[in-house]
Amino acid sequence: MGPHYARCFACGDDPPGGLRMQFTAGEAMTVTSRFLVTEHHQGAPGLAHGGILTCAIDEALGALGPLLRVPMVTGRLETDFRRPVPVGTTLHIEARIDGRSGRKIHVSADGHLDAPDGPVAVRSRALYLAVPVEHFGTHGRAEDVEAARADPGLRADRHFDVNP
Question: Each residue of 40-61: pLDDT tens digit?
Answer: 999 999 999 999 999 899 999 9
**Alpha-carbon distances, residue 101 vs 28, 35, 41, 98, 105 (angstroms):** 18, 30, 36, 11, 7
Checking if the pLDDT of 4 tops 50, the result is yes
DSSP state of 140: S
Highest mean pLDDT among 16-25, 62-71, 76-85: 76-85
Residue by residue, what is the 3-state secondary structure of 4-73?
CCCCCCCCCCCCCCCCCCCEEECCCCEEEEEEECCHHHECCCCEECHHHHHHHHHHHHHCCHHHHCCCEE
Give residue 47's identity as a one-letter amino acid code.
Answer: L
Q: Measure the CA–CA gap between 68 and 13, rounded to whole angstroms.
A: 24
CA atoms within 13 A on the CB side of 161: 2
Q: Measure the CA–CA gap between 97 and 93, rounded to whole angstroms.
A: 14
Question: Each residue of 127-157: pLDDT tens digit?
Answer: 999 988 777 777 878 777 777 777 665 544 4
Parse the chain into domains and list their residue ranges.
23-139
Helix (H, G, I), strand (E, B) or coil at 134: helix
Please state which architecture CATH assigns to domain 23-139.
Answer: Roll (3.10)
Checking if the pLDDT of 22 tops 90, the result is no
Question: Each residue of 92-124: pLDDT tens digit?
Answer: 999 999 999 999 999 999 999 999 999 999 999
What pLDDT, on the 0 to 100 scale, is given for residue 60? 92
